[in-house]
Amino acid sequence: MTLALVITGCSKADTSYEEARSADTIEVYQAFIKTYPNDARVPEIRLKIEDKIWATVLTKRSLDGVVMYLSNYTNGTFLNEAKQLREQIVS
């Protein structure tokens, strides 16, 4: 009986993950993390969220967006690029 519950739980997480990938939005990825915080795919999803946020920052090129990125991703993938963009916007 316990094994059946574990398998069912995994199946729901797998289905939710595929739905999140299909939707490919920050909100749906965040909902997945909230629902399945211990899922092995959470680090990958966090990177997808960061990529999407960074893409928005690059598109909008606003100081507020860069500051938001820098405050939320203090060791982020795009840290150096964000600092450079901030300097370009400010100067």
Six-digit token pair at 41? Answer: 């795919």
CA 78 to chain centre: 13
In this prediction the pTM is 0.84
- Report residue 88 as tokens: 């370009």
Alpha-carbon distance of 73 to 75, in angstroms, equals 5
Tell me the CA distances in angstroms from 48 to 5, 33, 58, 61, 90, one per residue in order.
29, 12, 15, 20, 28
pLDDT the model gives residue 10: 58
As a whole number of angstroms, the distance between CA 87 and CA 79 comes to 13
Provide the residue-wise pLDDT of the chain in tens; the chain has 91 residues.
Answer: 444 444 455 579 999 999 999 999 999 999 999 999 999 999 999 999 999 999 999 999 999 999 999 999 999 999 999 999 999 999 9
